[in-house]
Amino acid sequence: MDQKLALAAPGIAADFCGIKVPASKFVHAGRAARIRSGKYEGQEIKASLHIVGEEDVVLEIGSGIGLVGAVIAANAKPVKVASYEANPNLIPVIEELYELNGLTDRISVKNAVLVTAPDAPASLPFYLHKSYLGSSLLHTDSKRPKEQVEVPTSSFSVVCGDLKPTVLVMDIEGGELDLLRHADLSGFRAIVLEFHPKVYGPGGMRACKRFLRRAGFQKQTEVSTKTVWACIRTSGQADDADA
């Protein structure tokens, strides 16, 4: 099957949910196999397709190679998907994926870090690691980065004011705790979020859940796991449980 795919579509590393993923240094053989099998960001994709509808405007923070946003754009067919990715090296790969799949009229990407803190600087250091999956805004002494780059910031509130998104899809390798701490989530009806407890521990994960519940969101159990939550805003009062 993989050999036939390679012969029929040179330059295509994998195909999933109707999305062709172009070959690049970021998609090695193992990752391509995970994409084809649905194991690569599979829970995030499943939750997003369950949540997003044709009337939605999606704000995606953390595009990765662009697959999740592209699957949402092509299959859920929202009005628009606006993606933000901090890793500058991924931007050409993401744009190639969007163009290859004919999605540039529905989805776009910007190289910026969305910030919610009131005193955020104009740019932030971003730490690139050998695997883009480990690259993040967070730097620990135990994991020395391959390279450090400065990435421009954009105001989360300004972006939301201009875009008026109804769904937030977020996978930012641990940065979600700081973002949620100051974020006004009142304009969203639903959120798909991946937690990273290895970065901030069980206490940080519980704090993320508290922020979501206090904003009125309830986990959709049927499409959520321990570390990936699909949440919909409820009309009732949010509780403060940590489960």
pLDDT in tens, 160-216: 999 999 999 999 989 999 999 999 999 999 999 999 999 899 999 999 999 999 999
Q: Give the pLDDT band of residue 135 (cuts 50, 70, 90).
A: confident
**92: Cα separation from own chain's centroid:** 17
Q: Please count the CA atoms within 13 angstroms of the CA of 151 that sit on its side-chain side.
A: 25
Residue 147 has pLDDT above 90, yes or no: no
- Centre a 10 Å sphere on the Cβ of residue 28 and count the other Cβ atoms it contains: 13
Q: Give per-residue pLDDT as tens, 200-240.
A: 999 999 999 999 999 999 999 999 999 999 999 986 444 44
Angle subtended at Cα 193 by Cα 67 and Cα 191, rounded to the nearest 5 degrees: 100
Q: How far apart are CA 152 and CA 13, in angstroms?
A: 31
Q: What is residue 146's predicted lDDT score, i.e. its pLDDT?
A: 72
Q: Give the pLDDT band of residue 2 (cuts 50, 70, 90).
A: very low
Q: What is residue 78's predicted lDDT score, i.e. its pLDDT?
A: 98
Mean of the per-residue pLDDT values for the chain?
90
Residue 82 has pLDDT above 50, yes or no: yes
Sheet arrangement for strand 190-194: 107-111, 80-85, 57-61, 167-170, 190-194, 228-233, 217-219
The structure's pTM equals 0.90
Q: How does DSSP assign 16-55, residue by residue?
A: ETTEEEE--TT--HHHHHHHHHT-TTHHHHHHHHHH--TT
Q: Give the pLDDT band of residue 118 (cuts 50, 70, 90).
A: confident
Q: What is the mean predicted confidence (pLDDT) over 90-103?
A: 97
- Centre a 10 Å sphere on the Cβ of residue 30 and count the other Cβ atoms it contains: 9
Q: Give per-residue pLDDT as tens, 24-33.
A: 999 999 999 9
In angstroms, what is the C-alpha Rg of the chain?
17
Least confidently predicted of 119-133, 140-154, 205-219: 140-154
Q: What is residue 73's predicted lDDT score, i.e. its pLDDT?
A: 98
Helix (H) or strand (E) holding 168: strand 167-170
Tokens standing for residue 216: 């009125």
Sketch out the chain's domains with CATH numbers.
Answer: 41-233 (3.40.50.150)
Among 96, 86, 48, residue whose Cα is nearest residue 64: 86
